[in-house]
Structure 1
């Protein structure tokens, strides 16, 4: 079995059980004094110090950060989208977008505090607090924002706002979220929701899938689709492992493949699976590849994911 898909790995690490919170200005009352002085940051900028309510509580950033380390592919995309790209000094090994992000061998799944500290960051952003890395970095005075995997769109927007406040780019962050909302709402409003279409979203070729209660599932729900995985015998926190027999019996109208890059899956490979050759989605050419990364991240490219779903629904309903 291949390494667990990004979205699934985040769920198994417990990331999806956490919710990001909003940001507020000022300094957190009663916040602990760092064990050592914080790393040097850029000259004082308007709006700083600022306190952001993240997954690890109230985090105060004393000055506009100039040496950000991102250990979350979604956070990396968010940072560049809001104009904070020039402030990013290093990103994790899974941050593949944008192409010019300063990619390193740092890991977001197994973060090494010493390796992160060696980058001399004045802000670290991550999605998982694995191995107590948040405490380790906070202990040496490095501000850390824990921005866990969003479980709904509002949390995605909130995390973008958090990063906007933390990096001194609140206006651009607000514009990004406004544009995302407008585009997604416009697509969903125009979608044909009375077609009664069912779907199967494949995370990997095991196959793992998603239920309607996940971030991904909620996007599909906005387009009036019914998820076959909702009837799985074991929901597994929203990411059930389905049997081939289960999928064959459900015979979904649409199949979305989010494992084309990782696992080379296609309509042709699906047709070779036992009992799948006769599936309606395969016979009617209703198998849709979805970029693995877009389908597993909750940043601005959620709009691209929504566009792909919209195109598929219109093709099937037309």
Structure 2
């Protein structure tokens, strides 16, 4: 089977279930595992490099308002790779190519009827795990996918058990999915906070992320602020966290924890469990006064 993955999380899953040798095409963002970087790139970004978070937000808003795609699909490369299966998404046009663009490209190439298109659209942690099983079935790795999901569930259960033994109230946690302007989390992120032993004071599980104000962030009185700007690694998140502290945007006294958002928070793949485990360790060390 020849597989083109247009979603970094799907690429991670395909390699994790043993289908890495079947993957022939990926996006420019497919960087895990390292071997994925050696596959042919069929999707790139239309966004200029080096923009600030504020400039990225402006660019995305303007492109969406004009109805323009944020990603470019190399139809020629797609045709040359002759895929049997294309994996894409219908979750967020800002994150990756959506299924409509891919279907149009395949139809234009005259191969739409010959290529299977699998779409993932997870909004919750449970749906993320279901997407692993879906991809496993699509590439004939049902047993490997089931074993991977079972292992992830075991790790999440271990965190639940550890959190249940903690005394006292839960820390109040605010997660920033973007920093300029600030955005509150949706999708699976509030669930990650709750599993890790915190109370997610802003954002709603299963919903879309929404723009907010710094006044609202401070008014939520978080004990911990997780800086998780979508698409940034830990170094990038750290730089933004330091800038927020220097600007006085964050509540005084709150623990500020930058994370590898690209790997463990924004991508709906197996490493979300790594993010839960890391945050659980952070929250275990945060003292919370009764009634706080």
Instruction: Give yes or no for TM over 0.5.
Output: yes
Consecutive unaligned residues of structure 2, counting only runs of 5 or more, are 45-70, 91-97
2:202 is aligned to: 229
Q: Given the alignment of the two structures, is residue 189 of structure 1 paired with residue 189 of structure 2, yes or no?
A: no
Determine whether 1:272 maps to 2:246.
Answer: yes
Alignment-derived partner of residue 200 in structure 1:
174
Match 2:148 to one of 176, 182, 199: 176
Q: Equivalent residues in 2 for 1:1-318 (5 A)?
A: 65=1, 67-101=2-36, 102-107=38-43, 109-128=71-90, 129-134=98-103, 136-137=105-106, 139-148=112-121, 150-191=122-163, 192=166, 194-206=168-180, 207-211=182-186, 214-230=187-203, 237-259=207-229, 261=233, 262=236, 264-276=238-250, 279-281=252-254, 286-293=255-262, 294-317=264-287
TM-score, scaled relative to structure 2: 0.74
- Relative to structure 1, the CA distance from residue 159 to residue 193 in structure 2 (aligned partners, 3 Å threshold; closer, same or farther) is farther
CA deviation after TM superposition for structure 1 residue 263, in Å: 5.6
Helix, strand or coil at the partner of 2:154: helix
1:249 Cα deviation after fit: 2.4
Name the SS of the counterpart of 2:25 in structure 1: strand
- Distance, in Å, in 2 between the alignment partners of 1:237 and 1:183 is 25
State the shift of 1:117 in Å.
2.3
CA distance in 2, matches of 1:218, 1:210: 10
Q: Is the 1:93–1:104 contact (alpha carbons within 8 Å) kept by the matching residues of 2?
A: no
User: How far has the Cα of 1:166 moved from its partner?
Assistant: 1.6
- Helix, strand or coil for the counterpart of 1:100? helix
Say whether the 8 Å CA contact 1:210–1:217 is kept in structure 2.
yes
Mapped to 2, the partners of 1:86 and 1:130 lie a distance apart of 24
How many equivalent pairs are there?
242
Q: Distance in 2 between matches of 1:100 and 1:175?
A: 22
Unaligned runs of 5+ in 1: 1-64
> Any idea what SS the aligned residue of 2:42 has?
coil
- Structure with more of its chain in helix, by fraction: 2
Question: Shift in Å at residue 203 of structure 1?
Answer: 1.4
